[in-house]
Amino acid sequence: MSTETPVLQQHFIGQIVREDLASGKHKVIHTRFPPEPNGYLHLGHAKSICLNYGLATEFAGTCNLRFDDTNPSKEDVEYVDAIQRDVKWLGFEWAELRHASDYFDVFYRSALKLIRLGVAYVDDLSAEEVREYRGTLTEPGRNSPYRDRTIDENLDLFQRMRAGEFADGSKTLRAKIDMTAGNINLRDPALYRVRKVHHQNTGDAWPIYPMYDFAHSLSDALEGITHSLCTLEFEDHRPLYDWCVDKVDLAHDPELWQSLVDAGLPTTPSKPRQIEFSRGNLNYTVMSKRKLITLVSENLVDGWDDPRMPTIAGVRRRGFTAAGIRLFWERVGVSKQNSTIDMSVLEGAVREDLDGVAPRRLAVIDPVKLVITNLDAAHHESLTFPNHPKDESFGTRSVPFSPELWIEREDFAEIPPKGFHRLKPEGEVRLRGVGIVKCDEVIKDANGEVSELRCTLDLESRTGMPGADRKVKGTIHWVSAPDAVPAVVRLYDRLFDAADPDDDSDGKTYKDHINPHSRRVVHAYVEPAAAAAAREDRLQFERLGYFVADMHDHTPGTPVFNRVVTLRDSWAKQA
């Protein structure tokens, strides 16, 4: 695990862990991050990753990565690989890599034990009938007509379920708890269902699969997890979690897990404590895995790593840094109060991290030509620019300069608005690192668009000359036209134009709120040092924002950059 990772310890869970260690309840804490491999991880998962791994790092404990692979019909090896890649990219290493499927034999033996104890039975009700019998929040449920089957009958039926005799959905194994319980999760919940689906790890060995609550609780217990951290929607599931752990009682029944020992999987069962915390919600996005899958499958975005997606793969390709994401979740903290965090807070954390680590480069994303008429057309020189104005350790670079330059179109105004301090007819502006130029002539094309600005350079204002300190109000950046490298620049914005895309009170769905301006592709010019960047190198294009060399499409010969964030929060002005 990363020792450089900011840790979320100043919160109620950190306090619980400190107290448990101080009292001797635990000598070492053991946490886990248990994703389902049915999609890519998103920023909400990053909060859980930072919390679980962060606590283990802070308190010298261990944290497992465990795949909750109990629903093979929705799972894929692609997701397994992506999850491991994302966790590592965030800066964490797991103590052990486990899978719920590692424990299928233990789960099956545990289910047989519950049947023998008389607290589990095989039910023939259909899914629709189960819902009908369950009752409501205000009305108690009714016992299934199959609830009173004998132990021998239940053992026989469950073993035949295991043998693959029954069709999908025809039978379930249910816990026998209380159909009148106020907590609906305790109204005889399903523990196993028949599902003849090929599994990525176990193949066709199992025609039955355990339900989440059963598998998750026993997995935690088998791995000796001390603090099982989950989000608030699982608070009502905690009594069932504890029921499964207590009834199976793995710690006192080693025969149930002897197969793990024989297979070389370290196993020290204990009773874990489930603790709930609030989800990590952000505005202007959706983080329902079902909706993210829809965005991908319906080609509403360009895959899981589309830079507009809230997936870890997406924000990585966008250029967000792992350190910035960790800093963000550290600052947000951990509580039991659900809230939605403004996207600008995340962008601010990423911007803060990038400010210290991103070298500076020159680029022009909406170019118009500026020609210096009092320099010879063949004039060419190299200027020395710092790579980072705040950190000399970044060194310097040579930037080519010639009389033909590209500047930003918005840095010139024929009829300047009030407070405009850049270039205008007969006006002066400082060219970054060069000197002061005056606009003498404006050339337009056949459509009346400005195509060229003809200027004179005050040679006395150049570095080292007597007039170098002459003051003008504006400074603009530029790129030497003969030396500029054409580049594709993708300007990304928020994927949705509504703060809460899930709010359908206006009759619209989240798909109706997709921002049509969330991506704009421009053809820009960059200085040679920018084009030479390696994939995933992050740079600040001076005065424009932070950009990253695209991890798939960028090459030094055909550079492609994604805008990570602007230099300051520009969205607030639009909202």
Is 37 known as a binding-site position? yes
C-alpha neighbours within 13 Å on the C-beta side of residue 541:
30
Tokens 């930037």, residue located: 399
- The answer to whether 40 is annotated as binding is no
Chain-centroid distance, C-alpha 174: 36
Q: Is 44 annotated as a binding residue?
A: yes
Give me the pLDDT at residue 10, please: 74
47 annotated binding-site participant: yes
Write the DSSP symbol of residue 525: E
The span from the first CA to the last CA of the chain, in angstroms, equals: 40
Whether 279 sits among the annotated catalytic residues: the reply is yes
Asked whether residue 288 is marked as a ligand-binding residue, the answer is yes
What is the C-alpha to C-alpha distance for residues 520 and 285, in angstroms, rounded to an integer?
18
Q: What is the pLDDT, as a whole number, of residue 569?
A: 63
Amino acid at 97: L
User: Is 294 annotated as contributing to ligand binding?
Assistant: no
231 is in an annotated binding site: yes
Catalytic residue list contains 289 = yes
What pLDDT sits at residue 574? 45
**What is the total residue count of the chain?**
575
Distances (CA, A) of 442 to 81, 373, 445, 451: 56, 13, 10, 8
Cα–Cα distance measured from residue 487 to residue 472, given in angstroms and rounded to the nearest whole number: 31
138: its two tokens:
């205000």
Domain annotation for the chain: domains and CATH numbers: 1-229+240-277 (3.40.50.620), 279-357+484-575 (2.40.240.10), 362-483 (2.40.240.10)
State the catalytic residue, choosing from 279, 291, 454, 535: 279
d(Cα 491, Cα 564) in Å, to the nearest integer? 8
Q: What would the two tokens of residue 449 be?
A: 């668009």
- What is residue 74's predicted lDDT score, i.e. its pLDDT? 92
- For residue 575, the model assigns a pLDDT of 38
pLDDT in single tens digits along all 575 residues of the chain = 444 444 445 789 999 999 999 999 999 999 999 999 999 999 999 999 999 999 999 999 999 999 999 999 999 999 999 999 999 999 999 999 999 999 999 999 999 999 999 999 999 999 999 999 999 999 999 999 999 999 999 999 999 999 999 999 999 999 999 999 999 999 999 999 999 999 999 999 999 999 999 999 999 999 999 999 999 999 999 999 999 999 999 999 999 999 999 999 989 999 999 999 999 999 999 999 999 999 999 999 999 999 999 999 999 999 999 999 999 999 999 999 988 999 999 999 999 999 999 999 999 999 999 999 999 999 999 999 999 999 999 999 999 999 999 999 999 999 999 999 999 999 999 999 999 999 999 999 999 999 999 999 999 999 889 888 999 999 999 999 999 999 999 999 999 999 999 999 889 999 999 999 999 999 999 999 999 999 999 999 999 999 999 999 999 999 999 999 999 865 444 43
Q: Can you tell me the distance from the alpha carbon of 330 to that of 326, in angstroms, rounded to the nearest whole number?
A: 6
Distance CA 264, CA 91 (A): 28
Query: Which residues are 398's β-sheet partners?
Result: 384
* Cross-strand bridge partners of residue 85: none
- Tell me: is residue 212 an annotated ligand-binding position: yes
* 30 bridge partner residues: 62
Separation between Cα atoms, residue 171 and residue 238, nearest integer Å? 25
| CA proximity to 339, closest of 296, 414, 256, 277 | 277
The residue with tokens 């994401």 is 325
Cα distance between residue 457 and residue 376, in whole Å: 12
CB-based burial label for 575 (10 Å; 0-12, 13-18, 19+)? exposed
CA 294 to CA 479: how far, in whole Å? 42
Measured CA to CA in angstroms, residue 356 lies from 45, 181, 389, 399, 493 at distances of 26, 56, 10, 22, 23
Is 42 marked within a binding site?
yes
> Is 395 one of the annotated binding-site residues?
no
CA angle in degrees (0–180, nearest 5) for 266-268-270: 150
Burial class (CB in 10 A: 0-12, 13-18, 19+), 169: exposed
What DSSP string describes 443-493? EE-TTS-EEEEEEEEEGGGSTTSTTTT---S-EE--EETTT-EEEEEEEE-
Distance CA 389, CA 399 (A): 15
Task: Quote the tokens at residue 211.
Answer: 């339900």
Phi, psi of 258 (to 5 degrees): -60, -30
Residue 316 tokens read as 């990585």
Tell me how far apart the alpha carbons of residues 491 and 304 are, in angstroms, rounded to a whole number: 18
Annotated binding residue 376: no
Query: Which of 36, 96, 153, 235 is flagged as catalytic?
Result: 36
Question: Among residues 149, 289, 424, 563, which one is catalytic?
Answer: 289
SS3 49: helix
Cβ atoms within 10 Å of 214's Cβ, excluding its own: 26
The full DSSP string for 12-47 is HHHHHHHHHHHHTS-SS-EEEE---SSS--BHHHHH
Integer CA distances (angstroms), 482 to 399, 404, 406, 446, 475, in order: 12, 7, 10, 24, 22
CB of 455 within 8 A of CB of 373?
Answer: yes
- pLDDT value for 38: 95
What confidence score (pLDDT) does residue 140 get? Answer: 97
pLDDT at 6: 43
Q: Is 38 annotated as belonging to a binding site? A: yes
Beta strands in 279-414 (DSSP E): 281-282, 340-341, 360-361, 363-364, 367-372, 381-386, 396-401, 404-408
- Write down the number of H helices and E strands in the chain: 15, 27
- 3-state DSSP call for residue 239? helix
Instruction: Specify the pLDDT at position 568.
Output: 84
Tell me if 450 sits within 8 A of 367, measured CB to CB.
Answer: no
Active site annotation includes 36: yes
Using DSSP, state whether 193 is helix, strand or coil: strand
Of the candidates 385, 409, 414, 420, the one whose C-alpha atom is nearest the C-alpha of residue 399 is: 385
The token duo for 499 is 């703060």
The backbone torsions φ and ψ at residue 180, rounded to the nearest 5 degrees and listed phi first, read -105, 5
